[in-house]
């Protein structure tokens, strides 16, 4: 296994552990609805398209971006898709760890537990949409 894959797996595992050990979810229990979860999902998608679109114009970025991969460094300032790819998985893992922690503690699961996974899923969908929208900037690994 490559070094960056190990680092990414360790960070995602940290998200699961952090979520499981936390006694609070990221969103308030009251007021979380299915439409709000779709808004959070949509916000993640829009945020990726906007932020990566702005970075597309940044002359300091790499001339070509590589497709998101677990074997590449997520900390290169010249390749924003790698970082946001890791962030999406981290938020998914934190939310799922939070659900696991609540189940273990015997607490009921509500819609609020889906707040972080919805945001993480939005980031991941946005990252992969960016690879299609900005395909002229993409290069195979």
Q: What angle do helix axes 115-133 and 80-104 make, rounded to 10 degrees?
A: 160
Check residue 83 and give its pLDDT: 96
Domain ranges (residues) in the chain: 3-139
| DSSP per residue, 71-127 | TS-TT-TT-HHHHHHHHHHHHHHHHHHHHHHHHHTTPPP-GGGGHHHHHHHHHHHHH
Check residue 28 and give its pLDDT: 64
pLDDT by position in tens, the chain (length 141): 699 999 999 999 999 999 999 877 655 667 789 999 999 999 999 999 999 999 988 888 889 999 999 999 999 888 899 999 999 999 999 999 999 999 999 988 888 889 999 999 999 999 999 999 999 999 986
Q: What is the CA radius of gyration of the chain?
A: 16
């Amino acid at each position: 296994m490559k070094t960056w894959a190990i680092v990414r797996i360790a960070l995602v595992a940290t998200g699961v552990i952090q979520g499981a050990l936390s006694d609070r979810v990221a969103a308030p229990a009251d007021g979380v609805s299915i439409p709000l979860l779709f808004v959070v999902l949509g916000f993640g998608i829009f945020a990726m398209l906007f932020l990566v679109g702005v970075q597309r114009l940044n002359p300091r970025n790499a001339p070509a971006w590589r497709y998101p991969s677990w074997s590449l460094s997520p900390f290169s300032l010249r390749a924003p898709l790698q970082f946001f790819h890791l962030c999406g998985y981290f938020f998914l893992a934190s939310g799922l760890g939070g659900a696991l922690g609540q189940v273990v503690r015997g607490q009921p699961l509500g819609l609020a537990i889906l707040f972080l996974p919805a945001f993480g899923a939005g980031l991941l969908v946005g990252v992969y949409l960016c690879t299609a929208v900005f395909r002229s900037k993409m290069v195979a690994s």
